[in-house]
Amino acid sequence: FLLMAAEPAKEGGFLTAFMGTKGLLTAFIAAFVTVNVYKVCVKNNVTIRMPEEVPPNISQVFKDLIPFTVSVVLLYGLELLVKGTLGVTVAESIGTLIAPLFSAADGYLGITLIFGAYAFFWFVGIHGPSIVEPAIAAITYANIDVNLHLIQAGQHADKVITSGTQMFIVTMGGTGATLIVPFLFMWICKSERNRAIGRASVVPTFFGVNEPILFGAPIVLNPIFFVPFIFAPIVNVWIFKFFVDTLNMNSFSVNLPWVTPGPLGIVLGTNFQVLSFILAGLLVVVDT
């Protein structure tokens, strides 16, 4: 990763512009190549094998030597190729390449597809965040960093796709924005079974763990809940984007633990803006 992200500085040392969130995708590439090269080498016995008498900690060093050397050569070769062709590092070229994707993803269509997929996968029984998050992790963390720097510069933090958006706007109370659902089960349902499910799930759902109600109700694969389960998160993120783009509310600029209750996470993650209190209350009403 260092070979592809760090560029020598004229005064000595190296530049660190891509050693943070800007170089996250480059780190993914480096990790992917290294792991797979290691797997291929070990699987095909392309390693240095030492006698059994050699202590394991020493023999392991020799076993790793060829795979890691091949990984370094491949990645450094990629860096030389890109540097010779484009005149920039791999990390910088990746940043330039995906910049339009970042911009497109932050639009209404982009956020609809991304965050709608969260709920859709869960509805069919697949853990949505596990499928979608790896694809957008680089964007979310990079946008948090950008928003923070914008606020520090006295500018409007307008990047919508962040970890806070995913945890506290889209999945407020868990995937499907189900924060209020346990209360509805407790207070409105006539079925004693559903009332019991509501009572059992109200506390974990408040902290973003809604599996008890997803599988207890069930919501998963239940056609009655399909429309609200899919569209509540989408409407939430649309409202949030309206607040950011039209009302000039600053987006999330800090990372918080995912178990932070949704409304509290909105207020904390956006630095206690007046609009954040209004947004939190509005989303609770909308999700009801």
268 in the same domain as 190:
yes
The domain boundary residue, chosen from 37, 65, 98: 98
Per-residue model confidence (pLDDT) at position 171: 92
136 in the same domain as 231:
yes
CA angle 119, 157, 2 (to 5 degrees): 80
The domain boundary residue, chosen from 67, 98, 129: 98
156 in the same domain as 189:
yes
223 in the same domain as 123:
yes
80 in the same domain as 135:
no
Per-residue model confidence (pLDDT) at position 21: 65
Per-residue model confidence (pLDDT) at position 103: 67
Is residue 96 within 8 Å of 107, Cβ to Cβ? Answer: no
Per-residue model confidence (pLDDT) at position 102: 65
135 in the same domain as 43:
no
pTM of the model: 0.74
Q: Which pair of tokens denotes residue 131?
A: 């499928």
Q: Which pair of tokens denotes residue 185?
A: 């089960």
51 in the same domain as 34:
yes
140 in the same domain as 64:
no
Per-residue model confidence (pLDDT) at position 101: 65
Number of domains in the chain: 2
Per-residue model confidence (pLDDT) at position 6: 76
8 in the same domain as 140:
no
86 in the same domain as 122:
no
Distances (CA, A) of 206 to 73, 211, 268, 282: 50, 12, 16, 17
281 in the same domain as 155:
yes
**Judging by beta carbons within 10 Å of its beta carbon (0-12, 13-18, 19+), is residue 84 exposed, middle or buried?**
exposed
224 in the same domain as 132:
yes
The DSSP bridge partners found for residue 14 are: 8
Distance CA 146, CA 16 (A): 16
The domain boundary residue, chosen from 63, 98, 133: 98
- Residue 242: phi, psi to the nearest 5? -60, -45
Per-residue model confidence (pLDDT) at position 27: 84
Q: What is the domain range of residue 86?
A: 2-98
Per-residue model confidence (pLDDT) at position 99: 66
pLDDT (tens digit, 0 to 9) for every residue of the chain, 288 residues total? 777 777 777 776 777 777 776 677 788 888 889 999 999 998 898 888 888 888 888 888 888 899 999 999 999 898 889 888 888 888 888 777 766 666 667 789 888 988 998 899 889 888 888 778 877 887 888 899 999 999 999 999 999 999 999 999 999 999 999 999 999 999 998 889 989 999 999 999 999 999 999 998 889 989 999 999 999 999 999 999 999 999 999 999 999 999 999 999 999 999 999 999 999 999 999 998
Per-residue model confidence (pLDDT) at position 233: 94
Per-residue model confidence (pLDDT) at position 246: 95
Distances (CA, A) of 257 to 35, 167, 177, 249, 261: 29, 9, 17, 22, 9
